[in-house]
């Protein structure tokens, strides 16, 4: 209780729903709990409240290349794609109790393996990093100019502090 006898204001709660779809080729390598934890951390650190949902698809190079070609006109595999659903500064209203869908994240596990080896850390760390990177894009972060890149990189590292590099 505060000095005036009233309770301190209640902090709005976050309820996070993760819809995870993993290509069977990579099912044994993907840690659902890790992904849920790092994505929730991003949301909490960015002050997101209410009930929100995100879809994550973990697939291979071929499928992500098809998506990259279709949506970005780049005919090459990439590590992560984000498809935000926020639609501007004011989120689309949703009925009470229905999650606000923030968007979809697609990750190539083939790229996870290659980049983990290239950067000298574990596949779990790389998968977590790409999920966090994708989530930040859903929340409006970008890295086209240096100041934005630095802001996004700081948010990535803050969300990954508990994830071992190996």
Output the DSSP codes for the chain: --TTSPPPPPPPPEEEEEEEEE-GGGTTT--HHHHHHHHHHHHHHTT--EEEEEEEEEE-HHHHHHHHHHHH---S--SEEEEE---SSSPPP--TTSPEEEEEEEEEHHHHHHHHHHHTS-HHHHHHHHHHHHHHHHTT---SSHHHHHHHHHHHHHHTTTS---
Give the pLDDT of residue 165.
Answer: 78
Give the pLDDT of residue 125.
Answer: 96
Is 1 inside any structural domain? Answer: no
Domain that holds residue 124: 14-159
In contact, 65 and 75? CB cutoff 8 Å: yes
Domain count, the chain: 1
Give the pLDDT of residue 150.
Answer: 96
**Per-residue pLDDT for the chain (166 aa), expressed as one digit of tens each?**
555 556 666 667 899 999 999 999 999 999 999 999 999 999 999 999 889 999 999 999 999 999 999 999 999 999 999 999 865 445 566 677 788 899 999 999 999 999 999 999 999 999 999 999 999 999 999 999 999 999 999 999 999 998 887 7
- In degrees rounded to 5, what are phi and psi of residue 51? -100, 120
Is 117 inside any structural domain? Answer: yes
The CATH number for 115's domain is 3.40.390.30
Is 60 inside any structural domain? Answer: yes
Give the pLDDT of residue 162.
Answer: 87
Is 95 inside any structural domain? Answer: yes
Is 129 inside any structural domain? Answer: yes
Is 121 inside any structural domain? Answer: yes
Is 9 inside any structural domain? Answer: no
Is 48 inside any structural domain? Answer: yes
């Amino acid at each position: 209780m505060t000095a005036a006898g009233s309770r301190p204001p209640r902090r709005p709660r976050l309820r996070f729903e993760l819809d995870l779809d993993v290509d069977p080729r990579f099912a044994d390598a993907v840690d659902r709990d890790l992904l849920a934890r790092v994505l929730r951390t991003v949301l909490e650190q960015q002050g997101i409240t209410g009930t929100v949902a995100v879809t994550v698809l973990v697939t291979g190079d071929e499928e992500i290349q098809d998506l990259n070609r279709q949506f970005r006109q780049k005919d090459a595999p990439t590590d992560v794609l984000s498809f935000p659903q926020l639609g501007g500064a004011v989120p689309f209203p949703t009925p009470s109790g229905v999650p606000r869908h923030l968007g979809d994240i697609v990750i190539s596990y083939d790229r996870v393996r290659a980049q983990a080896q290239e950067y000298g850390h574990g596949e779990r760390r790389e998968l977590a990093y790409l999920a966090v990177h994708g989530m930040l894009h859903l929340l409006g972060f970008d890295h086209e100019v240096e100041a934005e890149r630095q802001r996004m990189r700081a948010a990535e590292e803050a969300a990954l502090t508990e994830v071992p590099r190996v």
